Amino acid sequence: MLELNAVNSGYGETQVLYGMNVTAQPGRVLAILGRNGAGKSTTLKTIMGLLPTKSGTITFDGAPIAKRPFDIAKSGIAYVPETRDIFPSLSVRENLEIASKRFGDGAWTIERVIDLFPRLGERLDNGGMQLSGGEQQMLAIARALLMN
Ligand SMILES: Nc1ncnc2c1ncn2[C@@H]1O[C@H](COP(=O)(O)OP(=O)(O)OP(=O)(O)O)[C@@H](O)[C@H]1O
Ligand SMILES: [Mg+2]
């Protein structure tokens, strides 16, 4: 379970999140809705350690969440950035391999993500830049799944 309790966060002196409370339970899907600029991405960046929490607490499975994005990823939280951030100079296959090598040994394999997104399987040798927006989105989601 991932829990945000009274989290304040933002960019430098600009505060965006005021007392944010969120509980994400295992096996459930949680959606956060809001107008443009409301703070959805800021919430995710704060959970992922890309922005510092000014105050409040974030816990994951009952313990305080790690501080560094790398450790947070290692603890089992994967982030699909709005900007996708796939590696443009690497092929689809290489983008997938990087994710699976780092945090592999779980339920998700490259074969399994290709089953989910056959389109990626047809484009394994395409460069990261040679993909449509939706294909890049599939790759960003596939990469997150491969981190298990
Ligand atoms: N790097 C930044 N520096 C300063 N302010 C920022 C930065 N990124 C976002 N903001 C501001 O923080 C507020 C929340 O932005 P955020 O990206 O969280 O919105 P969002 O809910 O994800 O919106 P959208 O639906 O458009 O993606 C906005 O007012 C935005 O202008
Ligand atoms: Mg956003």
Q: Is residue 41 situated within a structural domain? A: yes
Question: Which tens digits make up the pLDDT trace of 113-126?
Answer: 999 999 999 999 99
Question: Which tens digits make up the pLDDT trace of 75-113?
Answer: 999 999 999 999 999 999 999 999 888 765 788 999 999
Separation of CA 107 and ligand 1 centre (Å): 34
The answer on 120 and 60 residing in a single domain is no
Q: Is residue 37 situated within a structural domain? A: yes
Say if strands 53-60 and 2-11 run parallel, antiparallel, or are unpaired.
antiparallel
The answer on 65 and 101 residing in a single domain is no
The answer on 68 and 96 residing in a single domain is no
Best of 14, 43, 44, 46 to mutate for ligand 1, by most ligand atoms within 8 A of CB? 14
DSSP alpha helix (H) spans, the chain: 40-47, 69-74, 92-103, 110-116, 118-121, 133-146
Q: Write down which residue in 74, 108, 125 finishes a domain.
A: 74
Q: Is 147 helix (H, G, I), strand (E, B) or coil?
A: coil
Residue 52 belongs to domain with CATH number: 3.40.50.300
How far is the C-alpha of 56 from the C-alpha of 100, rounded, in Å? 33
Separation of CA 59 and ligand 1 centre (Å): 23
| Predicted local distance difference test score (pLDDT) of residue 40 | 97
Q: Is residue 82 situated within a structural domain? A: no
Q: What is the mean pLDDT of the chain?
A: 94
How far is the C-alpha of 20 from the C-alpha of 106, rounded, in Å? 32
Domain limits for position 27: 2-74
Best of 22, 35, 42 to mutate for ligand 1, by most ligand atoms within 8 A of CB? 42
| Predicted local distance difference test score (pLDDT) of residue 104 | 58
User: In sequence order, which residues have a C-beta less than 8 Å from that of residue 73 and are 6 or more positions away?
Assistant: 48, 79, 103, 147
Tell me the ligand closest to 38's alpha carbon: 1
| Predicted local distance difference test score (pLDDT) of residue 38 | 97
